[in-house]
Chain A
Amino acid sequence: MTRSLRVAMVVAFALAAMLSSPPAAAQPVTVPFARPVTVLVDGVVNPGEYAGTFTDTVTGIAVSWVHDDVNLSVGIVSPGTGWAGIGFGPEGILMDGSNIIIGYVLGPATVISDEYGVGLNHIADIGLGGRDDILERAGSEASGKTTLEFRIPLDTGDAYDIAMRTGKTFSLLLAYHDTADDLITLHTTASAGSFILERDPNKIPTRRASLGLEGLGEPREAGNVTLVARLLGDDGLPLASAVIDFFVNTSVGGGFLGAAETDAQGAALLNYTFLSPGPFRFVARFEGDLEYVPAEANATLVAARSTGPSVLSTSDLAIRAVIFATLAGVASVYAFVVVQILLIRRVGVGPGRTRGRRNGNKADRG
């Protein structure tokens, strides 16, 4: 194992430990769209240079960015003179599978590395057999702050980068160190959030994708099926990396089941367990992208009644026992009351039998 790899692992572990707590449920930050992009990657972030800027409240890192639907230009200013890093990952993921851009400024030299999150590590793409896909890079230090600027393609095609698409949410990692100009020292502060790439407002999707939905497996109470949604473009070719949302309509209402991304064959898969027998109507939905309009598909699966004990049989039994015990208790009190009424009638003397019609109610005499 090379020294740089070990160093990267230490840094990665520290970053992962810091970020291991669930990220706060905040709204994704939007990366604005602009064309043409006028950013000059020179190591200095000038006011108005980027279309979007925000300061992370946890780390104090100021992030400036913009994209033109092809490349992403980023400038980060950390409140220290040590290393700084930013990570772009799949939504909900912290490091594993993230594209991490990390670097520092040491004297006249600026180091900015394209790395990839592997478990709790981050390793240079080149070290994994990939490419360094940073198109432009520059850095500077001034007034106790470090500025790193770089430009990367939204979709590099490298297996060790993530393909970023507009309209989709990704996770965002930020970290820096106050003084250490290396890639090994534990960060001073780190944070996690999410971002979304703004769509090109001038680009209106017109193409129509076809979406199919089917269930693989035998629909049966307490059994599983795999819901398979297949997304094809208007050219008949599968659309990969598209998000498909799955829903179900049941007798107790509809609900969101989950989302899955289409693979190279255009298939998105989701497992579903039937808790009761009967018909279930599933809906798969593709929200569309820059080229394709949304598409939807339905499928109704009829789950057969289980021949074995139902998954709900225990609770069924408990519910029945509670209901019948309660009803029996209430009914017995009602019966007691009715008996009291009958006894009142039995004890009393009917009008005209002994005391006459008007002599009945002694208690009400004035």
Chain B
Amino acid sequence: MAKIVVTPLEKTVMLALVRPGRWYWVIMGVLAAIVAWAAYAYTVQLREGLIVTALRDRISWGLYVSTFVFFIGISHAGTLVSAILRVTNAEWRKPITRLAEAITVFALVVGAAMVIIDLGRPDRLLFMVQYGRIESAIVWDFISISFYLTGSLLYLYLPLIPDLATLRDKMPARARFRRWLYTRLAARWQGLPEQRRRLERALGAMAILIIPVAVSVHTVVSWIFGMTLRVGWHSTIFGPYFVVGAIFSGIATLIIAMAAVRRLFHLEDIIKPIHFRNLGLMLLALDIVLIYFTLSEYLTASYPGETQDVAWLALLGSGQFASMFWWMVIGGLIVPAVFIAVTKAKSVSAVVIAAILVNVGMWIERYLIVVPTMATPQTPSVIAPYWPSWVEWSILAGAIAGFGLLLLAFCRFFPVISMWEVAEKAPTPIPQPTPLPEPSPAEVAD
């Protein structure tokens, strides 16, 4: 019987699967607890209705819709980073594409869940299919997100096939469930030339297609707002403004996830500072573009001095949303740009801190897009009050924790590094293959 031989790369990645370490379980436990609390809060909302939130007739879109827009935004991480870099044949992308693609899928799942939560009556989701009109931007959004999720799943699965085959062949015999799972998913991959040709064709098609699909998703999300007559929303630049913001926050999320996974699974030799530096520089470029869009958006609104525009801008600049607005501008746009520019993205810590600031800022930006506009009266009235209730905050925490939980669970069952692509990247065969130590039964327990 032939001895199973694993390369150092495979060993490192497979160890992350079978020996995730103590901190993995601690973090999973904390995240699960937060999700459980959010689930309880949601049961309260289901039982009592949306009255337990701060949403009312004047402000019917609040924290939930802001979070929906935020998660749809970060879903651009994977697909765009992975697809654009794949199309442009950027070799350095290979260790991070899998993570980026997984972020896309889970961000979409969590984002879509926020809309269902915002409905109050989830059973009414079917009304979208039964009574939705194709002229409605919300129906466009429903369709585009469905297509994007389908495409992202395909795009996540395709490059997984060779790695699943590797795991199928090299997992210890006692890991029965994993072997069964990988065998089912590996599509009988043998690495035959015909199979490689088919895989490359499928990947090439998806990499090209998924870019416009991803762009369309956030454009359509922006149209939900932009197609209305509301002040602060009715803007022609909302499409590109949203897309740039989405890629911006998506890259920031990818950087944070890379740092976490790298530390948690000891992948320092695979996810290297150069990856943080390259993504950090991309973050800086997008930051500058977003500053430009932000300036253009608010200057255009303020210059004509329309009464409603002035009222809306006053809410942002000096009114009840001023602290959030200036935090977003300074803490979420300017400080990260300065941070990366000064350090030239050479420090992993600096890039990660900038990414965290960016994501906090971008969530606030989404909140400021949704809430102040709804608070601004369209007919003569007072400014509508809104501050999310404990139920909404709990569900927001649950959404973020749920996203992390799904991502970490994925890392437990599937290789977080695209082994075959990284191996292809290596100019010479990886030296000195070593046998994979047989894990203990507890470690391979499914």
Contact = CB atoms under 8 A, between A and B. Distances in A.
Interface string A279-296: 000010100000000101
Nearest to B234: A253
Given A250-B229, A252-B229, A333-B209, A360 B190 contact: yes
A307 interface: no
A337 B158 contact: yes
Given A247-B378, A323-B140, A336 B188 contact: no
B227 interface: yes
Contacts of A336: 202, 205
Interface stretch (A97-105, A106-114, A172-180, A340-348): A340-348
B189 A361 contact: yes
Interface residues of A, number: 50
A344 B228 contact: no
A119 interface: no
B168 A351 contact: yes
B191 A341 contact: no
Interface string A151-182: 00000000000000000000000000000000
Interface in A329-366: 330-331, 333-334, 336-338, 340-341, 343-351, 355, 357-366
A364 B165 contact: yes
Nearest to A330: B147
B162 A361 contact: yes
Given A255-B378, A360-B168, A334 B189 contact: no
Interface in B60-94: none
A316 interface: yes
A336 B204 CA distance: 11
B239 to A, nearest CB: 15
Contacts of B192: 347-348, 362
A311 interface: no
A247 B377 CA distance: 11
Given A323-B134, A330-B209, A333-B209, A366 B6 contact: yes
B187 A344 contact: yes
A348 B196 CA distance: 11
- Max chain B CB contacts within 10 Å: which of A247, A255, A336, A362? A255
Nearest to B188: A348
B304 interface: yes
A363 B229 contact: no
Nearest to B165: A361
Interface string B188-224: 1111101110110110011001000100100000000
A142 interface: no
Contacts of B433: 366
A245 B143 CA distance: 39
Contacts of A316: 135
A144 B230 CA distance: 54
A360 to B, nearest CB: 5
A344 B169 contact: no
Nearest to B140: A323
B429 interface: yes
Given A296-B380, A348-B190, A333 B206 contact: yes
Interface in A235-272: 245, 247, 249-250, 252-256
A63 B7 CA distance: 89
A124 B198 CA distance: 90
Contact of A360 (B5, B169, B199, B206): B169
Contacts of B227: 252
Given A344-B198, A366-B429, A337 B154 contact: yes
Interface in B142-182: 143, 147, 150-151, 154, 157-158, 161-162, 165-166, 168-170
B188 A343 contact: no
Given A330-B147, A330-B213, A337 B206 contact: yes
A254 B378 contact: yes
Given A253-B229, A340-B202, A348 B187 contact: yes
B169 A364 contact: yes
Contacts of B429: 366
Nearest to B306: A256
A320 B134 contact: yes
Contacts of B147: 327, 330-331, 334
B169 A350 contact: no
B183 interface: yes
Interface string B1-42: 110111100100000000000000000000000000000000
Contacts of B230: 252-254
B420 interface: yes
Given A254-B229, A330-B147, A348-B189, A341 B195 contact: no
Interface in B224-273: 227-230, 233
Contact of A347 (B161, B194, B201): B194
B2 A359 contact: yes
B379 interface: yes
A366 B430 contact: yes
A134 interface: no
B379 A319 contact: no
Nearest to B424: A363
Interface of B: 1-2, 4-7, 10, 134-135, 140, 143, 147, 150-151, 154, 157-158, 161-162, 165-166, 168-170, 183, 186-192, 194-196, 198-199, 201-202, 205-206, 209, 213, 216, 227-230, 233, 304-305, 308, 377-380, 419-420, 423, 429-430, 433
17 contacts: A255-B378, A256-B308, A283-B379, A296-B380, A336-B205, A337-B205, A340-B202, A341-B158, A341-B161, A344-B187, A346-B188, A351-B169, A360-B189, A361-B165, A361-B189, A364-B419, A366-B429
Give me the 10 closest cross-chain CB pairs, A-B, nearest first.
A363-B191, A254-B378, A348-B188, A366-B433, A340-B202, A253-B229, A253-B230, A345-B187, A253-B228, A247-B379
Interface of A: 25, 245, 247, 249-250, 252-256, 283, 285, 294, 296, 312, 316, 319-320, 323, 326-327, 330-331, 333-334, 336-338, 340-341, 343-351, 355, 357-366
